[in-house]
Amino acid sequence: MMSINITERARQTIDVIAAQLDPNLLKSKFDEPIDRVTRQFKYEADYPVGHKTFHHIIAEFVYQIYENGLKASWLLMDPLAEAISLLERYYQSAVYDTGYVAALLDANDAAEGGIQTVLIGLAESVKDTERQKYITAVFTWHLRRSSWPLQCEIVRILLEDCRAFDPERLADYERA
């Protein structure tokens, strides 16, 4: 059996990683199913939206994303806690600042899109969060099972291939 040199193995690993991180694949795994759930999600809310109704809607929405969009409801221990956490960490209101309180204010502001604005923000947060987890997992899976020399070769090739995108400051370090 012919052995493959380390550069060829590094290129093969990079090709596999690139295929698993293809933008079209990411779109089909995350964006499209979550957007479909967002379009199909039905709720009833009267204005003003109280905390109990708000919590019910955001929890059910996040559950539907994981159950019907990502097909991974097993990842979700507490849909309400996840929804509140996502809002607190990522929600950006056009009017009321950031976080959970801003989302609650937006939900009660029909002029700003009401609760639909909050649901869209939640959907985007789930997309970003789950996409990032997936990307990290792909790199971790392929790099952790590689030997140190292979990891170094992968990084060397990536730096070489991406040299045109390196910040000038990084190029200065390479010359030193």
On the 0-12 / 13-18 / 19+ scale of CB atoms within 10 A, 20 is: middle
Which pLDDT belongs to residue 72?
A: 87
Give the pLDDT confidence of 103-133 residue by residue, as tens digits.
999 998 888 788 999 999 999 999 999 999 9
The domains of the chain are located at 6-175
Which pLDDT belongs to residue 1?
A: 36
pLDDT at 59 over 90: yes
State the maximum Cα–Cα separation within the chain, in Å, rounded to a whole number: 72
Which pLDDT belongs to residue 173?
A: 55
Cα–Cα distance for residue pair 160/154, rounded to 1 Å: 10
| Mean pLDDT of the 57-83 span | 92
Q: Which run of H or of E encompasses 89?
A: helix 79-90
Cα–Cα distance for residue pair 151/14, rounded to 1 Å: 10
